[in-house]
Amino acid sequence: MHGRGSGECMRGRIPIDRIGGARFAIRSVPEDFIVVEEPLYPPTGEGGHTFVRVEKRERTTEQVARDLARAAGVTAREVGMAGRKDRHAVTTQWFSLPAVEPARALDFELPEVRVLEAHRHPHKLKTGHLLRNRFEITLRDIRPPGGTGSSRVGEQEGGTGDGDDLDAIRRRAAELVERGMPNRYGEQRFGMRGTNVEEAKALLRTGPGRSRRPRSGDRRAARFLISALQSAVFNAVLEERGEDFDRVVLGDLARVEESGGLFWVDDPDRESPRARAFEISATGPIFGTRMRSPKGEVARLERAVFDRFGLPELPELVLPRGVRARGTRRPFRVRPIDLDVRALPEGGGIRVGCALPPGAYVTVLLEALVGPVLDLSQGRADRPRPPEASPAASPPDRVSGIRIPKGGRWSGGRC
């Protein structure tokens, strides 16, 4: 369906003012960002639903779900999925369809989508029924060839390039596997200039009797905005935690990795070996009316962040009409699985392979490995867009969450 892009012309069309402090760029072509969904369970081969595994390219999960619904003659609401996947990527994921023969599903012809397999299953695929996501990410070195300073990673004979740099990245990778990576939410969650967070705060300020209608006038938009605010609050608490993100301290609410259960830490000396062994991890707040809170100094730190965002005491939290936020706890860290860093054989960058649990952001992992990363898909107006997508809806150009001004001098000709 689609060939693998080389990314060789990518450096010829980056505006110099977009590079900022980034050394590497991602998504110069969709094939540079590969995601494979690993399901929580396989389809049984029997039942009234059909699980369909597809590979999509430059399509959102919602667009593919609508295309599948049209092809199957069902409504989009009847299509199940475990999670959403990136648009500017080549991604493989599962959907479910009701009352569709697997043989018929295999013959579906959809734009930029291949149906790989189809099997019956008794139930609809539910959100969150996902074991992990496996990634294969290509990072292109965007330092000018032959410039001053160290050579570009992977550009020397044999693909090893700057061996010292590659060794340093691999040492950071080993540390992330040992300690875990900060389980921060990616900046794409917060919208242009962080407007999702500000709109969510405005929704909470209106009160129960004057609930302001969100942007699109529906509950789904309000839920999305509140979720963005929850994510921003968690990130702020994680930032306050600093280098203690991988430790447990007195008053923490810790999560047991194997069972997901929560408990208060009343003896850090006793629990610290379990934290070092990755059996337990400290958690941060996803605020809501039923969220469990930590104790002591940890609780005071969380309350200070809540105050900064204008959040009331949780029992007094008032949400827009029809919106619920019960709250939960999110681990401060996650452990990358099968993390592997290698130089590109063609030179000029590295390739990172890993698997992450649901809800973890691979862009956060990349930043922990190599620092700020330039995402070339942000603000990509020169690429063809599906009819459902709007150029105005695209997020701004960003380097690691910092807004980058548009325009500027091009560093070379357009490919």
Active-site residues: which are they? 86
Do 112 and 1 contact (CB within 8 A), yes or no? Answer: yes
**Cα angle for residues 81, 235, 215 (degrees, 5° grid):** 60
Altogether, the residues listed in the chain come to a count of 415
Helix-helix angle 296-308:219-241, to 10 degrees: 130
Query: Which tokens go with 370?
Result: 């190599």
Pairing between β-strand 262-264 and β-strand 49-57 as defined by DSSP bridges:
unpaired
Cα distance between residue 79 and residue 57, in whole Å: 19
Cα distance between residue 235 and residue 185, in whole Å: 7
Q: What are phi and psi of 315, to 5 degrees?
A: -60, -20
Cα distance between residue 388 and residue 60, in whole Å: 10
Query: Which tokens go with 115?
Result: 């149906």
Query: Which tokens go with 120?
Result: 């019956």
Q: How far is CA 216 from the centre of its chain?
A: 24
How many Cα atoms occupy the beta-carbon half-sphere of 38 within 13 Å?
11
Q: What are phi and psi of 266, to 5 degrees?
A: -110, -5
Cα distance between residue 297 and residue 320, in whole Å: 31
Query: Residue 333 is inside which H or E element, if any?
Result: strand 333-334
How many Cα atoms occupy the beta-carbon half-sphere of 190 within 13 Å?
22
Query: Between the CA of residue 306 and those of 236, 285, 314, what are the distances in Å?
Result: 9, 10, 10
